[in-house]
Amino acid sequence: MTRIAELRKILLRKKLDALLVTGSANRNYLSGFTGSTAFLVVSLKSALFVTDSRYIEQAGKEISPEFELAQVKSAKEYNGAIADLVKKDKVRVMAVEAGNLVVSQFETLKKYLPKKELRPQTGLVEGLREIKTKEELEKIRKAVDIAEKAFQITVKRIRPGISENEVAAELEYNMRLLGSERAAFPTIVASGKRGALPHGVATDKKLNKGELIVLDFGAVYKGYCSDLTRTIGLGIIVRQFKNHYKMVYEAQQKAISSISSGVLLSFPDKKARNYLKKHRLAEFFTHGLGHGLGMEVHERPSINNVAKGFFQAGMVVTVEPGVYLKGQYGIRIENDIIVKEKGCKVLGKDQQKLVIL
């Protein structure tokens, strides 16, 4: 079944006549379009792709033949094209993406469709994206491979006195050279005390001996992301840091080995947290265990201790426990895994030992 057909099944079930797709990853997933300005309207009867002159040629090459392609000249005309389809297909209730439509667009659209109901919805397309096809899994695998190779090259250049920004720049440069379209997100390089900021993006702080350095980075290959975190040490590292590293690694392994199709999404987080609790580190593990990964670096499902639902074969998720000691240091280890019918598969290699440069 095509993605459009899957979506129509959902529309029918929810008694919706159409969906206006405005999220760029959702638009790409359904149509194949990789550009940045276009609307999709999928009704039970038709599928319309609307863009302007900048993207018309690209859209002609990229989009699935299920869509009728329409060109408009102005923002006003976008609304007109949507209204025309709504009329033609006798749409009464059109769903809009609550997370992907700005309020001003929503208000304008209401004026164009005074007698219709626009119903904000979340997760209609995102739900479909949770389970990856073989082709999608291959792209993610390649994105992991690129990030990992770039890290191995970059690590050789890390030494005391160079800045977090320089390390981030080299890492992103090496990912590009290896085939990444862009960095999946602003690269995190957080050294020493800054490591205790779970999302401490790189600054001009210089790396010092004796520090732990948290690097969180990802590549994008054919539209699919990877997301890895490595913690390394520089110079002589005190025993406490090494012990904590081992515990974070063990917590990650406990979580990974608990993941399989049919297991509660909240289970691996509990596994990791319980292990850290035994070692009195749970209070420093201040975020959820992980998240889904695909066309967006954070997507469904969330993997934390309040997550509802079950793992299913074909999901790709990150497993990234960390501990953050304010004013001292941080440790996080993150890998990307594919959920299987039985168990799961870690993409790339895991980082068992603390690498000390």
Q: Among 89-97, 113-121, 223-231, 321-329, which window interacts with Mn ion (CB under 5 A)?
A: 223-231
Q: Is 299 in the site for Mn ion (CB under 5 A)?
A: no
256 closest CA partner among 200, 317, 214: 317
Report in angstroms how near the CB of residue 199 gets to Mn ion at its nearest: 10
Which of residues 28 and 318 has its CB atom nearest to Mn ion in the complex?
318
Interatomic CA distance for residues 164 and 316, integer angstroms: 29
Using the rule CB under 5 A, is 269 a contact of Mn ion? no
Do 259 and 291 touch, CB atoms closer than 8 A? no
Applying CB under 5 A, the span of 10-18, 117-125, 274-282, 311-319 interacting with Mn ion comes to 311-319
The phi and psi torsions of 160 (rounded to 5 degrees) equal -60, 145
Distance CA 240, CA 36 (A): 48
Q: Within 13 Å and on the Cβ side, how many CA atoms surround 10?
A: 19
By the rule CB under 5 A, 318 interacts with Mn ion: yes
Shortest distance in whole angstroms from residue 336 CB to Mn ion: 8
Cβ neighbors of 119 (< 8 A, separation 6 or more) are: 16, 93, 94, 95, 96
Compare residues 191 and 318 and give the one whose CB is closer to Mn ion.
318
Pick the stretch among 103-111, 248-256, 278-286, 310-318 that binds Mn ion (CB under 5 A).
Answer: 310-318
What minimum distance in Å lies between the beta carbon of 125 and Mn ion?
Answer: 21
Cβ 334 to Mn ion, closest distance in Å?
5
| CB count in 10 Å sphere of residue 247 | 19
Q: Hey, which residues between 144 and 183 contact Mn ion (CB under 5 A)?
A: none
Cis peptide before 120 (omega within 30 of 0): no
Looking at the DSSP bridge assignments, the partners of residue 215 are 189, 230
| Residue 26 or 318 having the CB closest to Mn ion | 318
Which of 17, 227, 269, 299 is in the footprint of Mn ion by CB under 5 A? 227
10/201 with CB nearer Mn ion? 201
Closest CA to 344 of 322, 311, 320: 311
| Part of the chain binding Mn ion (CB under 5 A), chosen from 63-71, 82-90, 144-152, 317-325 | 317-325
Minimum CB separation of residue 318 from Mn ion in Å reads 4
Residue 128 CB, nearest distance to Mn ion (Å)? 22
CA-to-CA dists, residue 91 to 13, 43, 66, 112, 136, angstroms: 15, 8, 19, 13, 33
Closest by Cα among 44, 124, 125 to 92: 44
Shortest distance in whole angstroms from residue 215 CB to Mn ion: 12
Contact status, residue 25 vs residue 13, Cβ threshold 8 Å: no
**Residues near 340 by beta carbon (within 8 Å), at least 6 away in sequence:** 260, 261, 313
| 223: Cα separation from own chain's centroid | 11
CB of 88 to Mn ion, least distance (A): 43
β-pairing verdict for 93-97 and 18-21: parallel
Number of residues that bind Mn ion (CB under 5 A): 2
Comparison of 130 and 227: residue with beta carbon closer to Mn ion? 227
To Mn ion, the closest distance from the beta carbon of 320 in angstroms equals 5
From 79-87, 101-109, 117-125, 220-228, span contacting Mn ion (CB under 5 A):
220-228
Nearer to Mn ion, 97 or 227 (CB): 227
Q: Which residues bind to Mn ion, rule: CB under 5 A?
A: 227, 318
